[in-house]
Structure 1
Amino acid sequence: MSGHQILVFLLLIGLLLGTALVLGQLARRVGLPAVIGELCAGVLIGPSVVGHLAPGVSTWLRLDQAAQLHLVDAVGQLGVLLLVGMTGIGIDVGLLRRRAGMTVWVSTTALVIPLVGGVALGFVLPVDLVAEGADRITFASFVGVALCVSAVPVIAKTLLDLRLLHRDIGQLIIGSATVSDLVGWLLLSVVSAMATVGVRATNVLLPVAFLVGALVVCLTIARPVVGRVLRFAVRSRDPGVVTTTVVLLLFAFAAGTHALGLEAVLGALLGGVVIGSSKWLNRELLAPLRTFVMAVLAPLFFATAGLRMDLTALARPEIIGSTGLVLVVAIVTKFAGAYLGARTARLGRWEAMALGAGLNARGAIEVIIAIIGLQLGVLSTAMYTVVVLVAIITSLVAPPMLRLAGRHIEVTDEEMARGRWLTGHDDDGPVRPLRAA
């Protein structure tokens, strides 16, 4: 990189972070989580606004060059890996184990219903949204997968902003999102194979085998190894040693799943769960890392997610109509699936509403699926824009619904203790356990 390239890159990173900070604070002032403003920061700086109104500025920032975007994406990737890893550390494994049946059931209904709805929708959308040369079955399958996923990073940041991650309902939302996303990534590997080499037994069975193998390794080999590493690290009582050790472990887990052809984010999440379940972990020593990730890296990730979004295509009436239809199906089917699963699992209506709202946030995960569909020649540019817009709007709709439902779910002593590390303060409020209506 030349001196000028480095200068432009540093200015772009500073612009993204500064805009994310300002818009995040504005979002909080109007009662929304900061993640909403952070997601809009990239949209503002990207082709949707600055690129359209001031193309010279966009060109000077080198946003029209793939190399610059790759550098920014690398910074964002570090942010999402550490954000998801810290989320995994905060997951109460004991609670999820006690409620394993409920988590699996909710995640199943929240995945199957939008998947079926998305596939059906894919067969009725205008042909202009299907990429040239792609068959309708593969297109419909991609739409179904895009609508059935949830964005764990966005959900985690939203729950943190709303001070719900440490609550029982927050843990159930994260657990359900994790299970449904595991299945969602497997389905994505299948439909990607349909678009390239067709469906073969190896293309379907290998990802499943790798995922099962990764889970077995985490439960058998990784847990004792991580425990020994953490026991050695905490002896120093130096937050720097513990922080570096945890980051190295998270990157190792992420690299492991990536090497297996699975998403690196899944490895970071699994690594965080293994680290958080260790009795040798001193969470207080991770406070500096948590602050840096939540205040710097996470906002940068959400800002970079918007840089590739071009919403100017919405000027076409048929695109607006298709966007509205996809959005309604996406929100209604995901909410209905999660709500139905929660109620049949004997959760109260406010807990069921919170699950339906929380799992509706699709964020950058749906954007990633849209990019894959575009690169494989399944989605047209117009359909890519539709899917990206749905990802943004569902992430905007989820927080107000979560806030409303969260106000009606009372706080337990266990939740307050869990929240001292995740949020840095205690929540006030009446106390009762999460129970059925």
Structure 2
Amino acid sequence: MSPARLAADTVAPPAPHTLLVFLLQIGVLLGLALVLSRLARKLGLPAVAGELAAGVLLGPSVLAPALPALSAWLFPRDTAQMHLLDAVGQLGVLLLVGFTGMHLDMALARRRGRAAAGISAAGLLLPLGMGLWLGHALPAQLRPADADPAVFALFIGVAMCVSSIPVIARTLVDMRLLHRNVGQMIMVVAAIDDIAGWLLLSVVTALATTGVGAGEIATPLIHMALVILAFLTLGRQLVRRVLSAVGSSDSPGASTAVTVVLLVLAAAGAQALGFEAVLGAFLCGILIGTHGPKELTQRLEPLRTTVLHFLSPLFFAGAGLRIDLTALADPTTALWGLIALALAVTGKYLGAATGLFAGGLTRWEALALAAGINARGVIQVVIAVIGLRVGLLNTAMYSIIVLIAIITPLMAPPVLRLAARRIEESAEERLREHGLHAPEGQDTARASTEDAPGAAELIHDRGSNAERAPDAS
């Protein structure tokens, strides 16, 4: 057999029927996700709720029992067929998480880091501890039969303790609270939560795939140290030099291509070290947002549009395909779902309450902070999909976690609105709202746009960029 014939046989194209079904899946999922996300926004709900609902309607919850023949043809339970759709969705979520990292205000994080770290630690540890208890207390029908009980409980704890920067950013922008001090604090605490959550998730998934033991625990911790070291040294220099070189190009497409290459390679590096690929994309996004040229955001606008309105909706609609709401019809599953939701909310609110003491916040600021960091959404859906993929979740528990991800963002706006009305707006916040900030050392209580001409500069890039944060909420 000739080499050419061997190559043709080895890399055979997908069968015509497989390709047809794949194209129809994309068209139907994306079309319904677009319609339902627009409807969700009109109802004051986050767009991700509509995108997930599209998958729910086309999955085992609605379409399968209503039209089983059509469901089996359009969304067959075939591994190869599902992997095609998953591959597109995985690329979408990598880029989405990368964009999320680009919109972190690292200058603000350094400035308010001590108070934010204390609040974030409490907001992580309390839900984590409650999740560990829940993981051990859940009945057998909500646990995968072959999952290690300790790793399963730890995974539930991690899933309970995360927040979601895209959801929080979109909520704050929609409510015109991003310029407020409490809005900025919410973003910083959520950023710390997300970074810690990804690191914990990476360790847990490594344990799930390699087994529990001293060596297995030490290896991911060492690899984690290598990732952080590369992030702080080689990664920073590489991103700065590459983006600086591309920034001089007249072609906006070059910036887009290089950004995708950096995010994908960083994701591959994290995956090679046994971590989830999204961690690498997230850390790389922080570097790009911190060290990239100021005009990079505008150059990446076409890519951002593609990610937000094509790739990420496919990911969330695909995640919805795996939700089986019929599992919640079981009284035991429904009861434990309510318990999980109550624990998830309580943990975040109690964690934010530490801001009354450690962070010097007022009670209304602490309430607003709690409402903000309680919103899960995007990140928790990603974690749920990962748990399903590595065998740490069954369909019923996956559905419970995703429902928490949908419900908690809906709880934030009314509480934020109530608290914000009772927090006096400072002159510094009014300057920030107009893209200004008071000169360092000036009394912000007396500052104004007129008496601070030297402050007539744009607020830090990350803060203004956060107003354009991914709206896949």
TM bracket, shorter-chain basis: 0.7 to 0.9
- Partner residue in 2 for 1:85: 98
Q: Which amino acid aligns with 2:23?
A: L
Structure 1 SS opposite 2:216: helix
Q: Give 1:110 deviation, angstroms.
A: 0.9
- Partner residue in 1 for 2:126: 113
- Partner residue in 2 for 1:222: 235
Q: Give 1:192 deviation, angstroms.
A: 5.2
- 1 CA distance for matches of 2:102 and 2:320? 27
Structure 2 SS opposite 1:389: helix
- 2 CA distance for matches of 1:11 and 1:258? 30
1:157-187 alpha-carbon deviations (Å, 9 max, x no partner): 5556666667665554444334334433444
CA contact (8 A) 1:20 1:41 kept: yes
CA contact (8 A) 1:106 1:342 kept: no
- 2 CA distance for matches of 1:242 and 1:273? 16
Deviates more, 1:27-36 or 1:416-425: 416-425
1:230-269 mapped onto 2 (5 Å cutoff): 230-269=243-282
- Partner residue in 2 for 1:54: 67
Q: Which one of the candidate residues 212, 220, 235 is aligned to 1:199?
A: 212
Structure 1 SS opposite 2:56: helix
- Partner residue in 1 for 2:400: 386
- Partner residue in 1 for 2:316: 302
- Partner residue in 2 for 1:18: 31
- 1 CA distance for matches of 2:465 and 2:294? 12
Question: Unaligned 5+ residue runs, structure 1?
Answer: 426-437
Q: Which amino acid aligns with 2:231?
A: C
Structure 1 SS opposite 2:300: helix
Q: Which amino acid aligns with 2:303?
A: L
Structure 2 SS opposite 1:344: coil
- Partner residue in 2 for 1:340: 354
Q: Which one of the candidate residues 366, 370, 385 is aligned to 1:352?
A: 366
Q: Which amino acid aligns with 2:407?
A: I
The alignment's TM-score, normalised by the length of structure 2, stands at 0.79
Question: Unaligned 5+ residue runs, structure 2?
Answer: 1-13, 436-460
Deviates more, 1:412-421 or 1:249-258: 412-421
Q: 1:276 to 1:413 in 2, by over 3 A?
A: farther
CA contact (8 A) 1:82 1:247 kept: yes
CA contact (8 A) 1:163 1:423 kept: no
Q: 1:36 to 1:249 in 2, by over 3 A?
A: same
Q: How many residues align?
A: 425
- Partner residue in 2 for 1:29: 42
1:368-399 alpha-carbon deviations (Å, 9 max, x no partner): 55556566666555434333333332344345
Deviates more, 1:372-381 or 1:81-90: 372-381
Q: Which amino acid aligns with 1:227?
A: R
- Partner residue in 2 for 1:397: 411
Q: Which one of the candidate residues 325, 333, 348 is aligned to 1:311?
A: 325
Deviates more, 1:248-257 or 1:124-133: 124-133
Q: Which amino acid aligns with 1:219?
A: L
User: Is 2:289 the counterpart of 1:276?
Assistant: yes
Q: 1:205 to 1:101 in 2, by over 3 A?
A: farther
Q: Which amino acid aligns with 2:404?
A: V
Q: Which amino acid aligns with 1:286?
A: L
Q: 1:264 to 1:373 in 2, by over 3 A?
A: closer
Structure number with larger C-alpha Rg: 2
Q: 1:48 to 1:399 in 2, by over 3 A?
A: farther
- Partner residue in 2 for 1:45: 58
CA contact (8 A) 2:56 2:323 kept: yes
Q: 1:185 to 1:235 in 2, by over 3 A?
A: closer
- Partner residue in 2 for 1:2: 15
Deviates more, 1:165-174 or 1:41-50: 165-174
Deviates more, 1:300-309 or 1:209-218: 209-218
Q: Give 1:297 deviation, angstroms.
A: 2.4
Give me the identity figure in percent: 52
Deviates more, 1:340-349 or 1:74-83: 340-349
